């Protein structure tokens, strides 16, 4: 007797998971689960709470997602092939691009931290315009938490780059975050836009990452909760960058550390939580008139290095 060959059904979206209806999909989307990857790596308890189902049902959903995802190990050649898809966007400065190994890279979070007026927002605007120039059909998402986004600066940079300033502004998707929850929601929405493939988003900017969290979580009693929330926020950003091969650039504030006798008296907010989630970290500080020192202090494959750039109407240029 010949046995019938079993057919394995493959699914590619959460809507296709057996037993998941439209109402459950809507709940999952609201909770930040937009694709199979997000479900496959979810904790059963959290997924059950988000979808309004039993933990047993959540485990089945997770298993279905995992069965249709390649979540195993990768060989060296496979990793090399994936790394070859990484792209880099120029900062406008030849020397700073050299420090960064060719520019700000996709697939991970790059953090630029420094004190007020150091040039963090300048770099965010410059990267936005340079990305739109490098990818003419792309868009950038700018999550503004401190009212730092300036369309005038975007237009100025676009004009100097030889671009149509109106077209560049039309390709900037700006979200003004009024609190930390709103900020996290906007980050999730950016991931949703990428997963739907309706928008070709190459860059997500969060300026700044920690401003709302500093205001809303006051005192040592709230420190653990604040760090956990920031960690969840950064995990969403990191996953978005990795899954969709996008650049995520976040700016961060600093605090004074007077007990640091010999080291740097300025430390970025967020501690190890932000540090571990940011693959590349840049320390930006004022130097002479209109110039900034930018130091690479953390990278998995680049040596510590620094350079000096000048802030001009056209963006960052090398100091001669």
CA distance 123 to 160: 15
CA angle 315, 135, 204 (to 5 degrees): 70
Go through the domains of the chain in sequence order and give each one's CATH number: 14-67 (1.10.150.20), 81-318 (3.40.50.300)
pLDDT at 8: 43
Residues of the chain below pLDDT 70: 1-9, 257-265
pLDDT at 307: 97
pLDDT at 264: 63
Find where tokens 């199979």 sit.
36
pLDDT at 267: 86
SS3 letters across the chain: CCCCCCCCCCCCCHHHCCCCCHHHHHHHHHCCCCCHHHHHCCCHHHHHHHHCCCHHHHHHHHHHHHHCCCCCCCCHHHHHHHHCCCCEECCCCHHHHHHCCCCEECCCEEEEECCCCCCHHHHHHHHHHHHHHHCCCCEEEEEECCCCCCHHHHHHHHHHCCCCHHHHHHCEEEEECCCHHHHHHHHHHHHHHHHHCCCCEEEEEEECCCHHHHHHCCCHHHHHHHHHHHHHHHHHHHHHHHHHCCEEEEEECEEECCCCCCCCCEEECCHHHHHHHCCEEEEEEECCCCEEEEEEEECCCCCCEEEEEEEECCEEEECC
> What are 130-135's contacts with CB under 8 Å, separation 24+?
130/89, 130/90, 130/91, 130/92, 130/161, 130/315, 131/89, 131/202, 131/203, 131/247, 132/158, 132/163, 132/168, 132/171, 132/172, 133/161, 133/163, 134/89, 134/90, 134/202, 135/200, 135/202
pLDDT at 6: 41
Instruction: Order across the sheet with 305-312: list the strands.
Output: 172-176, 139-144, 201-207, 247-252, 109-113, 280-286, 291-298, 305-312, 315-318
pLDDT at 126: 98
Name the token pair of 208. Answer: 């700044």
pLDDT at 91: 98
CA distance 93 to 284: 14
CB contact burial 274-292 (16+ within 10 A = b; e otherwise):
bbebbbbbbbbbbeeeeeb
């Amino acid at each position: 007797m010949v046995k019938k060959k079993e057919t394995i059904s493959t699914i590619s979206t959460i809507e296709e998971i057996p037993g998941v209806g439209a109402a459950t999909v809507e709940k999952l989307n609201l909770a930040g689960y937009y694709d199979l990857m997000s479900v496959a790596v979810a904790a059963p308890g959290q997924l059950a709470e988000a979808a309004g189902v039993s933990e047993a049902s959540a485990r089945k959903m997770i298993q279905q997602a995992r069965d249709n995802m390649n979540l195993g190990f990768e060989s060296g050649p496979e990793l090399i092939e994936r790394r070859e898809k990484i792209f880099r966007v120029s900062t406008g400065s030849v020397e700073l691009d050299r420090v960064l190994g060719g520019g700000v890279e996709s697939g991970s979070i790059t953090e630029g931290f420094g004190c007020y007026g150091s040039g963090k927002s300048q770099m965010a605007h410059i990267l936005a315009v340079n990305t739109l120039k490098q990818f003419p059909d792309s868009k950038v998402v700018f999550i503004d938490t401190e009212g730092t986004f300036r369309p005038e600066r975007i237009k100025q940079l676009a004009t100097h780059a030889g671009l149509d300033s109106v077209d560049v502004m039309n390709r900037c998707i700006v979200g003004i975050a009024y609190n930390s929850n709103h900020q996290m929601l906007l980050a999730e929405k950016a991931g949703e836009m990428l997963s739907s493939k309706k928008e070709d988003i190459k860059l997500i900017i969060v300026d700044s990452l920690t401003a709302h969290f500093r205001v809303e979580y006051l005192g040592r009693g709230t420190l653990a909760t604040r760090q956990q929330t920031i960690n969840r926020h950064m995990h969403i950003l990191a996953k978005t960058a990795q899954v969709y091969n996008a650049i995520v650039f976040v700016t961060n504030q600093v605090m004074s550390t007077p007990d640091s006798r010999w080291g740097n008296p300025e430390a970025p907010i967020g501690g190890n939580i932000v540090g571990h989630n940011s693959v590349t970290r840049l320390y930006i500080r004022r130097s002479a008139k209109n110039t900034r020192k930018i130091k690479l202090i953390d990278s998995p494959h680049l040596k510590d290095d620094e350079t000096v750039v000048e802030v001009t109407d056209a963006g960052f240029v090398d100091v001669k």
